[in-house]
Structure 1
């Protein structure tokens, strides 16, 4: 095996590769492969989401085969989970675990259930020692179709999925392996889903390690409004907040009129860096652990993190995806022979642990016409009411390499569990969702029996029908009604019953974790005589 690396470059990207739906899919994904192949620094591990078509995956593999010779396309669900992992080093093991809670087959226009979303895992060896292993997890959690509102019926799914991946990350860390979790998590920073991952597994959000004061949502989100910070500019949202989604730099978020300015032979279009950005947010994450510090005589720390893959397609002028990539470099920081930490290593030659500033790159000469919000707020931008690119003072408190390792070694105060109130919130949400699903199961069962009764009535009516066209109408109504009723009956008997069983399992795990957090001994639900044991 070649020399053991001292740095590992990671990339995660949602490719927006939905067949028949995503525009310019083949051209964009082929260009994504070219850009990965020519990236500087070269990526060592890449996690892809929404790469649903194997032909697109193979197109990316052809472009990256010399720098990322190993790869795995994951099959899940009827139409595939869209997950893939590329690696510079061999994959010793690979698997995919579908999420127990993952949308509904009745919401066929949304598709989450049909693609079988889950967690792809690859065990990658970067050195000969037993613990010189990276366990990479790639995921794409349930989309927040209902905007994350308090009555969002899919919030329970995303929380359960965060819980699932946190257990996988924790299990890998307990094996002494370096752990990396990457993907489109469809959550905002410091949300309950986010806290579940960082509290239930010994990993950290690499962006918040370097940018602890970065945003906790888009500018208009209640959590971000509560911080009472100025609205950011597009540049600030990229450099400081890591907003790889929904920002004005992405051409797929432009209006149709703006998109008409793009295309072959047309001049390149840019967005001014001081454009206000109310909607940009983080949905894509890299979570990383340090590895077994005592065995490796050191650990992996965060050297840099940035938003990447912001370039446009060289001919079409469009963004390569509706998300930008999140990129990070992890560096190995050794312990001294005495077991103590040496002085912090320099990053980018400045010795401060602060990564160099990265400017967003967009070729050109022509600017798009501003939208209504931009026109209305131009004066506020001019007057400095918006956050611009970060200054040295805004990042002077970044953690050094020593501090990062010390936090894993337990020398800093760091909570490893959620407060019990957070578990109460999850249980409350869970019980509300269970009530909804039980109601759905009941009414769909009633529909089946009603459709069966109508079918029997129609067949009797056919016997006594005075004309053929009446018989035809009765047979048509009975056939369609019984088909719909049968589907609902199967949903009630199979899907909802299975989902309620998974919810029982999830409830037990949360109650168990809550009891452990409170220092008590959990009591099985059934022994408490709780009516929910009869789900």
Structure 2
């Protein structure tokens, strides 16, 4: 971190490391390769000379935010390897089976940390997807810079498992982004320079992305540097140009774990969203595009994203000055855009609410049907035992299966189902409150 006349720059890296135990291939070797490179001992092979960072020390970061660090042994290796270079470290804990996979390595002293766990975060019935079990969260780290306090908000939001429909989990991510925006506003109002980093699993221009930028008052650091992106044009580019022009960190054909994808599937899901009042992007790009030589594979199924930010002195205005008339027109346009986002969000909530209620009802029906089947099995056993004693074993096994499945579905229905529906209602009420507040402004203009 450089310091000059109260203005300084700070360099970030955000990286989804793909550290799922038993699922991610070559997990241990890949995580160790990542740790070694961060510690300054890289043996990775570049994919293209023209994409290599040219300046010496380009890979020397001030703050590193990691996602999907889900194995303690991986974290221990990362922490030990990087201890000399990044003495301030934190792994965040949450969830049932494991933590949210969020970690931070920093040269800058950590003043405080806080973990906010999303109340709407998938379903316990989606065992193979696991989002509910890891407790997706926002890991907030306040850095002690000696001047302006910086709040780093690292997150890995719910993944989409389909392009459309229930499996896309759009409502879950939108609810998470809505809660996220509330946190961002609180920290901004308290005077912190907020930086949101991580794998947000949302494309630019999507509803979650709008909540984290337009609603929260942040700006996409890549777009601050390069302007609003034409996603259609980027989808038609070659893979290397997609990296350079579109910062496509996910599903790039240059990533060995995504080489079977279609070219137009490459997208940007990893971000640094920044407070434009205090921060200015001066450099940004994709990192960790290299491969591990002896495995001939990429180090993760995502590429990393890095940005260098100037932290501006007090009183410096980064936004261009506008006339009073222009400001009023801009304000009205922003209000109308926010209003449209609220309407879209309410529609999204209503659509998913039907799914949540249906699943709660069906699981409840399964529970009560299981109770009746269990009673019936006990009655039938008393009659069949005298005629064919061996049949009792089959009925006992049947009763056990009915009891286990019925209890699980009953628990999901009566406990999780009710909780999720109430959480959805709460988000809807919050959005309606915000919408009514905007209506008072629109009626005055």
Specify the TM-score bucket, using the shorter chain as the normaliser: 0.7 to 0.9
**Distance in 2, Cα, partners of 1:12 & 1:404:** 25
Contact preservation (8 Å) 2:288, 2:299 = yes
- 1:367 corresponds in structure 2 to none
Give the equivalent residue in structure 1 for 2:415: 494
What CA deviation, in whole Å up to 9, does each residue of 1:71-101 have, x standing for no partner?
1001110111111011111211112111110
Assess, with a 3 A threshold, how the Cα gap between structure 1 residues 308 and 153 changes in structure 2: closer, same or farther: closer
| Alpha-carbon offset, residue 405 of structure 1 | 6.9
CA contact under 8 A between 1:54 and 1:73: conserved in structure 2? Answer: no
**Following TM superposition, by how much is the alpha carbon of 1:188 offset from its aligned partner in structure 2, in angstroms?**
0.6
**Residues 64 and 104 of structure 2 are in contact (CA less than 8 Å); yes or no, is this contact kept in structure 1?**
yes
Whole-angstrom distance in 2 between the partners of 1:469 and 1:441:
38
Q: TM-score, normalised by structure 1?
A: 0.73
Q: Distance in 1 between matches of 2:101 and 2:78?
A: 13
Structure 1 residue 181: deviation in Å? 0.5
The residue aligned with 1:56 is 74
Structure 2: stretches of 5+ with no match in the other structure? 41-56
Other-structure match for 2:223: 208
Q: Does 1:329 align with 2:345?
A: no
Query: Residue 211 of structure 2 is aligned with which of 196, 200, 219?
Result: 196
CA distance, structure 2, for counterparts of residue 203 and residue 7 of structure 1: 18
Partner of 1:285: 271
Aligned pairs for 1:148-167 within 5 A: 149=164, 152=167, 154-167=169-182
Q: 1:464 to 1:150 in 2, by over 3 A?
A: closer
Residues 406/93 of structure 1: CA separation in 2 closer, same or farther (3 Å cut):
farther
C-alpha deviations, 1:209-234, integer Å up to 9, x for none? Answer: 12224243xxxxxxx3xxx7771111
Three-state SS of the structure 2 residue aligned to 1:460 is helix
CA-CA distance at 1:334 after TM superposition: 4.3
Match of 1:481 among 402, 426, 429: 402
Q: Deviations over 1:237-264 (max 9, x none)?
A: 11111101111111111359xxxxxxxx
CA separation in 2, counterparts of 1:416 and 1:56? 44
Cα distance in 1, alignment partners of residues 206 and 340 from structure 2:
14
TM-score by length of 2: 0.87
Corresponding residue number in structure 2 for 1:93:
112
Q: Does 1:145 align with 2:161?
A: yes
Residues 1:520 and 1:334: Cα distance change in structure 2 (over 3 Å): closer
How many correspondences in the alignment? Answer: 416
Counterpart of 1:23 in structure 2 is 25
Q: In the TM superposition, what whole-angstrom CA distance separates every residue of 1:101-127 from its partner, at most 9, and x where no partner exists?
A: 000010101111111111111111111
> Structure 1 residue aligned with 2:439, among 511, 518, 532?
518
Indicate if the aligned counterparts of 2:234 and 2:242 stay in contact, CA closer than 8 A.
no
CA deviation digits over 1:460-496, x for unaligned, max 9? 1111111112222122112211211111111111000
CA change 1:204–1:469 in 2 (3 A) is same
The equivalent position to 1:238 in structure 2, one of 240, 243, 247, is 243
Shift of residue 277, structure 1, vs aligned partner = 3.1
Deviation of the 1:406 alpha carbon: 5.5
**What SS is found at the alignment partner of 1:55?**
helix
Q: Which runs of 5+ in 1 are unaligned?
A: 217-223, 257-275, 292-298, 342-401, 522-535
Distance 1:454 1:151, change over 3 A: closer
Report which of the two has the higher share of helix: 2
Change (3 A) 1:252 1:162: same
**Where in structure 1 do 4 or more consecutive aligned residues deviate above 3 Å?**
1-5, 150-153, 332-335, 402-407, 410-419
Mapped contact 1:455–1:481 kept (Cα < 8 A): yes
RMSD: 2.6
Kept in 2: contact 1:301–1:404 (CA 8 A): no
The match for 1:462 is 381
Distance across 2 between alignment mates of 1:420 and 1:185 = 23
Aligned twin of 1:451: 370
Partner residue, 1:103:
122
1:251 aligns with 2:251: no
Deviations along 1:415-441, one digit per CA (max 9) or x if unpaired, are 655432321121111112111211211
Distance in 2, matches of 1:229 and 1:183, equals 22
Q: Give 2:89's aligned residue.
A: 71
